[in-house]
Homo-oligomer: A and B are copies of this chain.
Amino acid sequence: MSDTAATAPLAGMRIVEVSSFVAVPLAGMTLGQLGAEVVRVDPIGGAADYHRWPLTEGGESIYWASLNKGKRSVAVDFRDPDAQALIADLVVEAGVLVTNVAGRDWLDFAALAARRPDLVHVQLVGRADGGTAVDYTVNAATGFPLASGPVDVAGPVNHLLPAWDVSAGLYVALAVLAAVHRRNTTGAGARIVVPLEDVALATIGNLGYLAEAQLGGAGRERIGTAVYGTFGTDVVTSDGVRFMLVALTPRHFRDLTELTGCTAAVAAVEAALGVDFRDEGTRFRHREVLSGLIRAWFREHTAAEAAAALAASSVLHERYRTFAEVAADPKVTANPMFARLDQPRIGPHLAPGLPMSVDGRHHTPRPAPANGDDTAAVLAEHLGLDAARIAELHSRGAVRVAAPTEVTGPA
């Protein structure tokens, strides 16, 4: 069952987004998936992210379409004073702004809040001190690239997933809802600033890495595919398929040694070393010998045999997949979170809704707009501009009203 506008949690909420790249677009899209109406305002022709890779053969951004599903698009000339005033009007009318744009007077909190004191203004910045930063630079300072990856690698191992952008986008969405909650309770507006770098630093603090280092911990060495403080390992089958295995509990681990026929060998090692593998820290300390014993069984069994044996056990496990494999897997194709999306300019594909069900229902993904698709409709509906005024603004280039012949390229 899919959601309806009436029952969506944020039905009736209106949000203006002036953004680019990952974090704020994800924030806006997520609030839209929860039921808000999200108007993304961009420069005519699109912001810096409008042509970001991956692209279709026709040069359209799969990336942009994926991160801006279900929004309305207004395109204006950011240098035109009338257009700047229109953006401000839209923000004042909606009452909520999410943005990662800095240095634009007409988007500043003070100017907008002077017109609407209960404005919720949430801004993502690179660093709290105003410096610029992106996920891939922020990540370098977190400690993760020097502790991730195979044990024999010397240099940094960056993440491919822009994990800080994703987290920051979710914090921005959370900031909006927290501030709207307070506004509904007290009438107060809010100015909230979310620094991307602070999202990363808070997270490494929340996971204990910073306290561990401050309290004199030994530091973290590379551990490959092991899982710190418990037992995890990758294994490869006789037909070359890889699985990730995790044994968090004594039962998981007992099942794993039985499955792989090494219970007696593990017990012999345990006795000889005078240790107790029911303790997860002890399993971690002795991960190399334990992984060695366990991997041997997988090398002599096929992926099908391994999958069947693992499925019959309590062992936490998953087969490693490429992006292409997961895209074609029942995890996607038979998952009610995904629905066929006829995305203009990109093509039909299975697109995800929100990763949660609300009262048993999933959000149904809606297409991303093209730049300026909704300029005329939004200016009319939200600001009451008449057709003649919109046509005048369009004709002198202050705004761009999309027409069928105009939707695919920059002006």
List the interface of chain A (C-beta within 8 A of B): 9-13, 22, 26, 29-30, 34-35, 48, 52-56, 61-63, 65-67, 128, 132-134, 136-150, 153, 155-163, 166-168, 170-171, 173-175, 177-182, 184-185, 190-195, 197-199, 201-215, 217, 219-220, 223-225, 227-230, 232, 234, 236, 242-246, 248-249, 280-281, 284, 316-329, 331-332, 335-338, 343, 346-347, 349-360
Contact = CB atoms under 8 A, between A and B. Distances in A.
22 contacts: A9-B179, A11-B182, A62-B215, A128-B335, A128-B336, A132-B316, A142-B323, A149-B149, A153-B153, A155-B242, A161-B207, A170-B170, A171-B356, A195-B355, A206-B352, A210-B326, A210-B349, A210-B352, A213-B323, A213-B326, A213-B327, A219-B322
Contact of A133 (B132, B158, B219, B316): B316
Contacts of A210: 323, 326-327, 332, 349-352
A331 B229 CA distance: 27
B138 A318 contact: yes
A323 B219 contact: yes
A181 B213 CA distance: 40
Contact of A190 (B9, B13, B317): B9
B321 A10 contact: no
Nearest to A311: B131
Nearest to A8: B182
Contact of A201 (B54, B160, B184, B352): B352
A287 to B, nearest CB: 12
Given A145-B244, A198-B356, 16 more contacts: A128-B335, A134-B316, A140-B242, A140-B320, A141-B326, A143-B321, A143-B323, A146-B320, A155-B242, A157-B157, A166-B167, A175-B358, A177-B178, A179-B358, A201-B332, A219-B324
A150 B157 contact: yes
A67 B148 contact: no
B52 A229 contact: yes
A214 B327 CA distance: 6
A154 to B, nearest CB: 9
Contacts of A162: 207
A347 B214 CA distance: 10
Q: Which of A34, A63, A320 has the largest count of B CB atoms less than 10 A from its CB?
A: A320
Contacts of A153: 149-150, 153
Given A174-B177, A214-B327, A214-B350, A134 B248 contact: yes
A212 B144 contact: no
Contacts of A325: 143
Contacts of A138: 318
Contacts of A336: 128
A156 B48 contact: no
A335 B201 contact: yes
B326 A62 contact: no
A53 B170 contact: no
A278 B60 CA distance: 18
Given A137-B317, A146-B322, A163-B161, A22 B207 contact: yes
A215 B346 contact: yes
A26 B202 CA distance: 11
Given A181-B177, A246-B134, A211 B351 contact: yes
B190 A335 contact: no
A55 B9 contact: no
Contacts of A230: 52-53
